[in-house]
Structure 1
Protein backbone atom coordinates (compact mmCIF):
# COMPACT_ATOMS: atom_id res chain seq x y z
CA UNK A 1 0.00 0.00 0.00
CA UNK A 2 1.41 3.37 -0.98
CA UNK A 3 0.94 6.50 1.07
CA UNK A 4 0.81 9.99 -0.32
CA UNK A 5 3.35 12.28 1.23
CA UNK A 6 2.18 15.80 1.93
CA UNK A 7 4.30 18.85 2.65
CA UNK A 8 5.26 19.31 6.29
CA UNK A 9 2.32 20.44 8.40
CA UNK A 10 -0.28 19.39 5.81
CA UNK A 11 -2.15 16.11 5.62
CA UNK A 12 -2.67 14.41 2.25
CA UNK A 13 -6.47 14.45 2.71
CA UNK A 14 -6.74 18.18 3.51
CA UNK A 15 -8.51 20.33 0.96
CA UNK A 16 -6.92 23.47 -0.41
CA UNK A 17 -8.10 26.60 1.35
CA UNK A 18 -11.14 28.11 -0.29
CA UNK A 19 -10.78 31.60 -1.64
CA UNK A 20 -13.06 34.44 -0.70
CA UNK A 21 -14.05 34.95 -4.35
CA UNK A 22 -15.39 31.40 -4.65
CA UNK A 23 -17.20 31.72 -1.31
CA UNK A 24 -18.72 35.07 -2.32
CA UNK A 25 -19.89 33.59 -5.63
CA UNK A 26 -21.50 30.63 -3.84
CA UNK A 27 -23.15 32.99 -1.37
CA UNK A 28 -24.41 35.28 -4.14
CA UNK A 29 -25.90 32.21 -5.84
CA UNK A 30 -27.64 31.32 -2.58
CA UNK A 31 -28.71 34.92 -2.00
CA UNK A 32 -30.38 35.04 -5.42
CA UNK A 33 -32.60 32.05 -4.68
CA UNK A 34 -33.30 33.24 -1.15
CA UNK A 35 -34.22 36.75 -2.27
CA UNK A 36 -36.59 35.48 -4.98
CA UNK A 37 -38.28 33.14 -2.49
CA UNK A 38 -38.44 35.75 0.26
CA UNK A 39 -39.96 38.42 -1.94
CA UNK A 40 -42.41 36.04 -3.60
CA UNK A 41 -43.50 34.67 -0.22
CA UNK A 42 -44.03 38.15 1.18
CA UNK A 43 -45.96 39.27 -1.90
CA UNK A 44 -48.21 36.18 -1.77
CA UNK A 45 -48.74 36.43 2.00
CA UNK A 46 -49.52 40.13 1.78
CA UNK A 47 -51.86 39.68 -1.20
CA UNK A 48 -53.76 36.96 0.67
CA UNK A 49 -53.98 39.10 3.82
CA UNK A 50 -52.00 36.61 5.92
CA UNK A 51 -50.47 37.54 9.25
CA UNK A 52 -46.69 37.79 9.76
CA UNK A 53 -45.93 34.22 10.87
CA UNK A 54 -47.57 32.33 7.99
CA UNK A 55 -46.16 34.86 5.52
CA UNK A 56 -42.67 34.38 6.96
CA UNK A 57 -43.01 30.58 6.89
CA UNK A 58 -44.05 30.73 3.22
CA UNK A 59 -41.17 33.11 2.41
CA UNK A 60 -38.63 30.81 4.09
CA UNK A 61 -40.03 27.72 2.38
CA UNK A 62 -39.88 29.44 -1.01
CA UNK A 63 -36.33 30.64 -0.30
CA UNK A 64 -35.28 27.01 0.11
CA UNK A 65 -37.21 25.95 -2.99
CA UNK A 66 -35.68 28.64 -5.19
CA UNK A 67 -32.22 28.22 -3.66
CA UNK A 68 -32.23 24.48 -4.33
CA UNK A 69 -33.76 25.01 -7.79
CA UNK A 70 -30.88 27.17 -8.97
CA UNK A 71 -28.38 24.47 -8.02
CA UNK A 72 -30.55 21.70 -9.47
CA UNK A 73 -30.74 23.51 -12.78
CA UNK A 74 -26.96 23.68 -13.05
CA UNK A 75 -26.17 20.10 -12.08
CA UNK A 76 -28.98 18.69 -14.23
CA UNK A 77 -27.61 20.66 -17.16
CA UNK A 78 -24.19 19.09 -16.44
CA UNK A 79 -25.77 15.67 -17.04
CA UNK A 80 -26.44 14.41 -13.53
CA UNK A 81 -29.60 12.34 -12.97
CA UNK A 82 -32.44 13.87 -10.99
CA UNK A 83 -31.94 11.86 -7.76
CA UNK A 84 -28.21 12.54 -7.73
CA UNK A 85 -28.82 16.22 -8.55
CA UNK A 86 -31.21 16.54 -5.60
CA UNK A 87 -28.58 15.01 -3.29
CA UNK A 88 -25.97 17.46 -4.59
CA UNK A 89 -28.32 20.43 -4.12
CA UNK A 90 -29.19 19.39 -0.58
CA UNK A 91 -25.52 18.88 0.32
CA UNK A 92 -24.43 22.11 -1.35
CA UNK A 93 -27.10 24.52 -0.18
CA UNK A 94 -28.82 23.45 3.03
CA UNK A 95 -26.46 25.05 5.55
CA UNK A 96 -25.94 28.12 3.40
CA UNK A 97 -29.67 28.74 2.94
CA UNK A 98 -30.41 28.00 6.61
CA UNK A 99 -27.81 30.53 7.82
CA UNK A 100 -28.96 33.08 5.27
CA UNK A 101 -32.61 32.69 6.29
CA UNK A 102 -31.79 32.84 9.99
CA UNK A 103 -29.89 36.11 9.59
CA UNK A 104 -32.29 37.61 7.03
CA UNK A 105 -35.43 36.92 9.03
CA UNK A 106 -33.74 37.71 12.34
CA UNK A 107 -32.78 41.17 11.10
CA UNK A 108 -36.28 41.80 9.74
CA UNK A 109 -37.81 40.72 13.06
CA UNK A 110 -35.51 43.06 15.00
CA UNK A 111 -36.14 46.22 12.94
CA UNK A 112 -39.04 48.10 14.56
CA UNK A 113 -42.08 48.15 12.29
CA UNK A 114 -40.51 46.07 9.52
CA UNK A 115 -42.74 43.04 10.09
CA UNK A 116 -45.83 45.19 9.63
CA UNK A 117 -44.53 47.28 6.73
CA UNK A 118 -46.40 46.97 3.44
CA UNK A 119 -44.88 46.27 0.04
CA UNK A 120 -45.49 49.88 -0.96
CA UNK A 121 -43.39 51.26 1.93
CA UNK A 122 -39.72 52.13 1.88
CA UNK A 123 -39.31 50.51 5.31
CA UNK A 124 -40.21 47.12 3.80
CA UNK A 125 -37.73 47.33 0.92
CA UNK A 126 -35.00 49.06 2.93
CA UNK A 127 -35.17 46.48 5.70
CA UNK A 128 -35.23 43.63 3.18
CA UNK A 129 -32.16 45.00 1.38
CA UNK A 130 -30.33 45.51 4.67
CA UNK A 131 -31.27 42.04 5.95
CA UNK A 132 -30.11 40.34 2.74
CA UNK A 133 -26.82 42.28 2.85
CA UNK A 134 -26.27 41.18 6.45
CA UNK A 135 -27.14 37.59 5.52
CA UNK A 136 -24.58 37.74 2.68
CA UNK A 137 -21.87 39.03 5.05
CA UNK A 138 -22.51 36.32 7.64
CA UNK A 139 -23.00 33.44 5.17
CA UNK A 140 -19.91 34.08 3.03
CA UNK A 141 -17.44 32.90 5.73
CA UNK A 142 -19.66 29.86 6.34
CA UNK A 143 -19.49 28.99 2.64
CA UNK A 144 -15.73 29.59 2.58
CA UNK A 145 -15.31 27.19 5.50
CA UNK A 146 -17.50 24.53 3.84
CA UNK A 147 -15.82 24.82 0.43
CA UNK A 148 -12.42 24.54 2.08
CA UNK A 149 -13.50 21.18 3.46
CA UNK A 150 -14.84 19.89 0.15
CA UNK A 151 -18.46 20.49 1.15
CA UNK A 152 -21.13 22.99 0.16
CA UNK A 153 -20.61 24.46 -3.28
CA UNK A 154 -17.34 22.53 -3.65
CA UNK A 155 -19.61 19.55 -4.37
CA UNK A 156 -21.40 21.48 -7.13
CA UNK A 157 -18.11 22.54 -8.75
CA UNK A 158 -17.33 18.89 -9.48
CA UNK A 159 -20.05 19.05 -12.14
CA UNK A 160 -19.00 22.23 -13.93
Structure 2
Protein backbone atom coordinates (compact mmCIF):
# COMPACT_ATOMS: atom_id res chain seq x y z
CA UNK A 1 0.00 0.00 0.00
CA UNK A 2 1.51 3.35 -0.93
CA UNK A 3 2.10 6.02 1.70
CA UNK A 4 -0.59 8.38 0.41
CA UNK A 5 -3.25 5.64 0.62
CA UNK A 6 -2.61 4.90 4.30
CA UNK A 7 -4.32 8.09 5.50
CA UNK A 8 -1.71 8.48 8.26
CA UNK A 9 -2.79 5.32 10.06
CA UNK A 10 -0.49 3.79 12.65
CA UNK A 11 -0.71 0.25 11.30
CA UNK A 12 0.18 -1.27 7.97
CA UNK A 13 1.22 -4.55 6.39
CA UNK A 14 1.28 -7.54 8.72
CA UNK A 15 0.32 -5.46 11.75
CA UNK A 16 -2.75 -4.23 9.89
CA UNK A 17 -3.66 -7.79 8.90
CA UNK A 18 -3.22 -8.97 12.51
CA UNK A 19 -5.45 -6.12 13.71
CA UNK A 20 -8.07 -7.05 11.11
CA UNK A 21 -7.99 -10.70 12.14
CA UNK A 22 -8.34 -9.72 15.80
CA UNK A 23 -11.26 -7.37 15.01
CA UNK A 24 -12.92 -10.06 12.91
CA UNK A 25 -12.52 -12.64 15.67
CA UNK A 26 -14.16 -10.15 18.04
CA UNK A 27 -16.99 -9.68 15.55
CA UNK A 28 -17.24 -13.43 14.96
CA UNK A 29 -17.63 -14.05 18.69
CA UNK A 30 -20.62 -11.72 19.03
CA UNK A 31 -22.11 -12.85 15.74
CA UNK A 32 -21.69 -16.52 16.57
CA UNK A 33 -23.35 -16.12 19.98
CA UNK A 34 -26.30 -14.30 18.43
CA UNK A 35 -26.44 -16.44 15.34
CA UNK A 36 -26.37 -19.75 17.22
CA UNK A 37 -28.88 -18.54 19.80
CA UNK A 38 -31.22 -17.14 17.14
CA UNK A 39 -31.06 -20.19 14.92
CA UNK A 40 -31.46 -22.57 17.86
CA UNK A 41 -34.50 -20.63 19.15
CA UNK A 42 -36.03 -20.27 15.69
CA UNK A 43 -35.46 -23.91 14.80
CA UNK A 44 -36.71 -25.18 18.17
CA UNK A 45 -39.88 -23.09 17.84
CA UNK A 46 -40.46 -24.16 14.23
CA UNK A 47 -40.20 -20.61 12.92
CA UNK A 48 -39.88 -19.98 9.18
CA UNK A 49 -36.41 -19.58 7.66
CA UNK A 50 -36.96 -15.84 7.26
CA UNK A 51 -38.11 -15.35 10.86
CA UNK A 52 -35.27 -17.51 12.19
CA UNK A 53 -32.69 -15.57 10.21
CA UNK A 54 -34.19 -12.25 11.29
CA UNK A 55 -33.99 -13.32 14.94
CA UNK A 56 -30.41 -14.54 14.47
CA UNK A 57 -29.37 -11.25 12.83
CA UNK A 58 -30.94 -9.12 15.57
CA UNK A 59 -29.23 -11.21 18.25
CA UNK A 60 -25.91 -11.15 16.37
CA UNK A 61 -25.97 -7.35 16.29
CA UNK A 62 -27.03 -7.24 19.95
CA UNK A 63 -24.21 -9.51 21.16
CA UNK A 64 -21.67 -8.00 18.76
CA UNK A 65 -22.37 -4.51 20.06
CA UNK A 66 -22.54 -5.74 23.68
CA UNK A 67 -19.03 -7.18 23.42
CA UNK A 68 -17.80 -3.74 22.36
CA UNK A 69 -19.88 -1.63 24.74
CA UNK A 70 -18.76 -3.48 27.88
CA UNK A 71 -15.01 -2.71 27.71
CA UNK A 72 -15.66 0.83 26.48
CA UNK A 73 -17.92 1.47 29.48
CA UNK A 74 -15.18 0.09 31.74
CA UNK A 75 -12.80 2.59 30.14
CA UNK A 76 -15.04 5.37 31.47
CA UNK A 77 -17.22 6.33 28.53
CA UNK A 78 -20.90 7.11 29.07
CA UNK A 79 -23.59 4.74 27.74
CA UNK A 80 -24.25 7.13 24.89
CA UNK A 81 -20.56 7.39 24.06
CA UNK A 82 -20.05 3.65 24.32
CA UNK A 83 -22.96 2.98 21.97
CA UNK A 84 -21.54 5.46 19.46
CA UNK A 85 -18.17 3.71 19.59
CA UNK A 86 -19.82 0.28 19.16
CA UNK A 87 -21.85 1.49 16.19
CA UNK A 88 -18.76 2.97 14.54
CA UNK A 89 -16.53 0.01 15.36
CA UNK A 90 -18.79 -2.90 14.51
CA UNK A 91 -21.68 -2.08 12.20
CA UNK A 92 -20.10 -2.78 8.81
CA UNK A 93 -18.20 -5.81 10.09
CA UNK A 94 -21.31 -7.38 11.64
CA UNK A 95 -23.40 -6.53 8.59
CA UNK A 96 -20.97 -8.23 6.20
CA UNK A 97 -20.61 -11.23 8.49
CA UNK A 98 -24.37 -11.63 8.82
CA UNK A 99 -25.06 -11.30 5.10
CA UNK A 100 -22.41 -13.89 4.26
CA UNK A 101 -23.14 -16.45 6.97
CA UNK A 102 -26.90 -16.38 6.43
CA UNK A 103 -26.49 -16.56 2.65
CA UNK A 104 -24.28 -19.62 3.07
CA UNK A 105 -26.82 -21.24 5.41
CA UNK A 106 -29.55 -20.68 2.83
CA UNK A 107 -27.38 -22.05 0.02
CA UNK A 108 -26.42 -25.30 1.78
CA UNK A 109 -29.17 -27.76 0.82
CA UNK A 110 -31.25 -28.77 3.82
CA UNK A 111 -29.22 -26.80 6.39
CA UNK A 112 -32.13 -24.75 7.70
CA UNK A 113 -34.48 -27.72 7.81
CA UNK A 114 -31.96 -30.18 9.28
CA UNK A 115 -32.91 -29.69 12.93
CA UNK A 116 -30.83 -29.12 16.03
CA UNK A 117 -29.85 -32.78 16.42
CA UNK A 118 -28.42 -33.02 12.90
CA UNK A 119 -24.73 -32.89 12.07
CA UNK A 120 -25.74 -31.10 8.83
CA UNK A 121 -27.22 -28.23 10.83
CA UNK A 122 -24.13 -27.72 13.01
CA UNK A 123 -21.60 -28.36 10.22
CA UNK A 124 -23.43 -25.89 7.95
CA UNK A 125 -23.51 -23.26 10.69
CA UNK A 126 -19.78 -23.71 11.43
CA UNK A 127 -18.99 -23.58 7.70
CA UNK A 128 -21.12 -20.46 7.24
CA UNK A 129 -19.38 -18.66 10.10
CA UNK A 130 -15.95 -19.69 8.77
CA UNK A 131 -16.79 -18.34 5.29
CA UNK A 132 -18.12 -15.14 6.85
CA UNK A 133 -14.87 -14.76 8.83
CA UNK A 134 -12.74 -15.11 5.69
CA UNK A 135 -14.85 -12.59 3.78
CA UNK A 136 -14.96 -10.09 6.68
CA UNK A 137 -11.19 -9.95 7.42
CA UNK A 138 -10.44 -7.82 4.32
CA UNK A 139 -13.37 -5.53 5.18
CA UNK A 140 -11.95 -4.94 8.66
CA UNK A 141 -8.45 -4.54 7.23
CA UNK A 142 -9.72 -1.84 4.88
CA UNK A 143 -11.63 -0.08 7.71
CA UNK A 144 -8.78 -0.19 10.22
CA UNK A 145 -6.32 0.99 7.56
CA UNK A 146 -8.43 4.12 7.23
CA UNK A 147 -8.81 4.70 10.98
CA UNK A 148 -12.37 3.39 11.01
CA UNK A 149 -14.10 0.24 12.28
CA UNK A 150 -12.28 -1.30 15.21
CA UNK A 151 -9.60 1.36 14.98
CA UNK A 152 -11.97 3.72 16.83
CA UNK A 153 -11.81 1.41 19.87
CA UNK A 154 -8.03 1.62 20.26
CA UNK A 155 -8.33 4.81 22.30
CA UNK A 156 -10.32 2.87 24.92
CA UNK A 157 -8.02 -0.13 25.43
TM band (smaller chain): over 0.9
Establish whether residue 84 from structure 1 lines up as the match of residue 81 from structure 2: yes
Establish whether residue 145 from structure 1 lines up as the match of residue 142 from structure 2: yes
Establish whether residue 24 from structure 1 lines up as the match of residue 21 from structure 2: yes
Greater share of residues in helix: 2
- CA shift in 2, pair 1:14/1:51, >3 Å: same
CA distance in 1, matches of 2:19, 2:41: 33
Partner residue in 2 for 1:102 = 99
1:13 CA drift (Å): 5.0
Alpha carbons 2:7, 2:146 under 8 Å: kept = no
Partner residue in 2 for 1:115 = 112
- CA shift in 2, pair 1:26/1:116, >3 Å: same
TM-score with structure 1 length normalisation?
0.90
**Where in structure 2 are there 5+ consecutive unaligned residues?**
none
Larger Rg: 1
CA distance in 2, matches of 1:103, 1:37: 15
1:52 CA drift (Å): 1.2
Q: 1:155 is matched with which residue: 131, 152, 155?
A: 152
Provide, for residues 40-70 of structure 1, a one-character-per-residue CA deviation record: whole Å limited to 9, x for no partner: 1111112222121111100010000000000
1:80 CA drift (Å): 0.7
CA distance in 2, matches of 1:108, 1:46: 13
- CA shift in 2, pair 1:84/1:119, >3 Å: same
Q: 2:60 is matched with which residue: 58, 63, 69?
A: 63
CA distance in 2, matches of 1:36, 1:30: 10
Regions of 4+ moved over 6 Å: none
TM-score with structure 2 length normalisation?
0.92
Question: Pairwise CA RMSD of aligned residues?
Answer: 1.7
